[in-house]
Amino acid sequence: MPKKEKIFSRRDFFKITGAAGAGSIVASVGKLASASDKSEPEPFKAATVPTRPFGKTGVNVSMLGLGGSQELLSKQLLLRQAVKMGVTYWDTAYRYEGGNSEKAIGNYFAKYSDDRKKVFLVTKTPSGVPDKMTRYLHTSLERLQTSYVDLFFIHKVSDVKNEIDQSTKAWAEKAKAGGKIRFFGFSTHKNMSQCLMDGAKLGWIDGIMASYNYRLMHADSMKRAVEACAGAGIGLTAMKTQATFFASFYARIGKENETAAKLNEQFMKKGFTPEQAKLKAVWENPNIASICSEMPNMTILQANVAAALDKIELSLQDKSLLEQYARETAFGYCAGCANLCESVVEGSVPISDIMRHLMYYYSYGNHDQAIRLFNTIPSTTRKYLAGCDYSRAEYLCPQNIPIAKLMKKAVVTLTRS
């Protein structure tokens, strides 16, 4: 009787690594692989990340995607391992790392040309103007060293009705007919629920990437929007799934709450970390085709893959604890409802964008990216940013975020000297 194939789950992953620390996880997995060569297939070769249908496109994509908003030129081995593990949804953008993200992926395809067929490749244009999209797409294809991309997004849409129209549709159809793109859509960082709902009403959008996590998923408006997209056959990609913003910043200055400790204790007893539990919470919605995660090293890649392979579902108690933590730390996370706060502050201050820049700086540790993005805000706006009256915006903010304090912090921290 043949041996039963072993499935390498998150629980197995952390039983193997134990309390040895993140620094030794890769070494532990390597030892396991060497030992298994003698008796049974290597665990990561035996099981790869599951796939899900991407809307009505007829294409299945890996439920875990690799985020390319990071330095990838020195991480070719990471890309290679991602393919082997089945992480074949790759996301990048024209402006990531000043274009170097696309170039790094292009370098990879030049070396491993067969892997191009395995990868569902996504990139984004910074403009939705048809003529500009043509130029951006041409440059992206050259950088990526490919003749087509699987999914082409307009980057950071915040008002679908004013940013996407029939000329956009005509452009997308022409690009598809020319074999330059397979599918078309947009990404959104703010006013997500409205953007998702409006995208669903268009009737021709193939895919949308939006912030979606354990903090945002319970809002009625988000639930309705996701259901509308599913009904319209739109493939949904979730980003910002860890929802770490100023909750982690407050932790650094001693203001984290007790619920965080409970999260660590409860989930680690079950064999996975709170970070993995947050991924599982998103995956429990079958309408989410893939999670886009910036995985900067092999340790995080392996941990996230183990999470995708793990079949254990979150219990009602687990979900309740995550919801409790979300409520108690809401003041530390911008939910992207910019239509509330930004509309009542004079001077067109992009509050939610600045919140995201601070998130990149404090939570992700991407200091250069945060500073670069912040300094793309017009200098006239940055000059009066700290002195604006945010009292009305703070009153309307459902998260009770100290907006004025954080805008001042952004000026001090992110202004390029």
Write the DSSP string, 294-338. ---SHHHHHHHHHHHH--PPPPHHHHHHHHHHHHHTGGGS----H
> What does pTM read for this prediction?
0.85
Is beta strand 235-239 parallel, antiparallel or unpaired with respect to 89-91?
A: unpaired
Helix, strand, or coil (residue 355): helix
- Please report, for the chain, the start and end positions of each structural domain, with discontinuous segments joined by +: 10-44, 47-321, 334-414
pLDDT band at 3 (very low <50, low <70, confident <90, very high): very low
Question: What percentage of the chain exceeds 90 in pLDDT?
Answer: 67
Question: Is the pLDDT confidence value at 4 over 80?
Answer: no
Point out which residues pair with 62 in neighbouring strands: 51
CATH number for 47-321 (one of 3.40.640.10, 2.40.128.520, 3.40.50.280, 3.20.20.100): it is 3.20.20.100
Is residue 339 scored above 60 in pLDDT?
Answer: yes
Q: Span 354-358, mean pLDDT?
A: 90
Amino acid found at 216 = L
Confidence of residue 89 (pLDDT cuts 50, 70, 90): very high
Confidence of residue 417 (pLDDT cuts 50, 70, 90): low
Distance CA 286, CA 364 (A): 27
